[in-house]
Structure 1
Amino acid sequence: MAALLGLGTRDRPRSSTTGDGALVDALAQLSFLVQGVLTQIVGEYDLSVVQTRLLGVLRDRRPTMNQLGRHLGGCHGWRPGS
């Protein structure tokens, strides 16, 4: 994976834990790596990560504004006219 992303061996994160802790550590490191690559790619298109999430939601369905707000974590408890 690191070679595909252009990372050298000195750039790879190291895990100092064993067993289940090593798996959790590796998943956390992978999460940061994916987030970094995603941020870099969407930046090339002048998009934010939130805008990219929105495009992913809209790709296969036509949600209402209410559904879209809930999916994107909008304001909770807000009602029109309040």
Structure 2
Amino acid sequence: MTILADKAILSGVDNRPPMLEKDMYDSWKSRIELYMMNRQHGRMILEFVENGPLIWPTIEENGVTRRRKYFELSVTDAIQANYDVKETNIIL
């Protein structure tokens, strides 16, 4: 017997994204997209999901190439890095 709390977890509630059931991927995909769109800056989060995570820019120092640190990112890249974390947390 399914209880109300189980139904809320499966369908997704305001503070919890819908759970993925292996035989209901298409339904879950639609619900998770709506859930993301309902978050603050939801369109940006969904866009980053569709386009993939930020490929961190690199910098060369003393002949060594390394990834830029967060504080070295451009404003746009920092925003994308922030939303990458949010989208990952939603999906996980």
**TM-score using structure 1 length:** 0.29
Q: Which gives a bigger RCO, structure 1 or 2 (Cα 8 Å, sep 6+)?
A: 2
**TM-score using structure 2 length:** 0.27
Structure having the higher strand fraction is 2
